Amino acid sequence: MKPPFEVLVGRIETLALDAVVNAANRALAPGSGVDGALRAAAGPDLTKHTSRMPPLTEGEAVITPGFGAPAHFIIHVAAPIWTVPGPEGEKVSGLARCYMSAIKMAASRGFTSLAFPCLGTGNFGWPRGFACAIAVTACEQALAEAPSLNRLLFCCFTEDDAKLYRAGLDVN
């Protein structure tokens, strides 16, 4: 595995890093999955904070404090929904932008550690292997402009997802 990448099976809301990435919806409204888990860890102040923020465009990143979560900050991104009709290329670009804009946000603040969930593969319906390939490629590209990041984790909910990321990063 090429540094700074790590793949782990775990729960992103338990990670004590500079920032973790939230798989948010465009309205930044409370959701399920990663969003629900991060909101539970962060406490009600996160929802109070995001309720005052404008909606996200697909691929855009915004940052909030981690509040009660172990991570210092939460970077929220909204992936395109795979199952909604539209050009595949635009959806792929939108998902890649999620990773790239989160890394850019982290680098702009000098963060050294960042964790991503498997963006888009839950309620947004992205095929897991396809989304993984986009994630790995986008992160490799974005890290060239993010010298402070020396630890980038793909936090997978299942071992099956982790196998995809290990294969994408060419590790056993």
Question: pLDDT-based confidence at 170, cuts 50/70/90?
Answer: confident
The H or E element spanning position 92 is helix 88-108
Q: Count other Cβ atoms within 10 Å, centred on residue 144.
A: 8
Is the dihedral angle over the CA atoms 65, 70, 72, 78 positive or is it negative?
negative
pLDDT at 168 over 60: yes
| 94-111 pLDDT per residue, tens | 999 999 999 999 999 999
Q: What is the mean pLDDT of the chain?
A: 95
Active-site residue, 170 included: no
- In the set 18, 35, 160, 170, the catalytic residue is 35
Q: How many CA atoms lie within 13 A of 172 on its CB side?
A: 0
- The answer for residues whose C-beta is within 8 angstroms of residue 130's C-beta and 6 or more apart is none
CATH number of the CATH domain containing 138: 3.40.220.10
pLDDT digits (tens, 9 = 90+) for 144-160: 999 999 999 999 999 99
Q: What's residue 91's pLDDT?
A: 97
- Is 10's pLDDT higher than 90? yes
Residue 150 · residue 3 · CB < 8 Å: yes
| pLDDT confidence of residue 2 | 59
Q: What is the pLDDT of residues 35-72, one digit of tens each?
A: 999 999 999 999 999 999 999 999 999 999 999 999 99
3-state secondary structure of 49: helix
The total domain count for the chain is 1
Where in the sequence is the domain holding 69, given as residue range(s)? 5-168
- The pTM of the full predicted model, rounded to 2 decimals, is 0.96
CB atoms within 10 A of CB 54: 9
CA triple 7-12-13, angle to 5 deg: 160
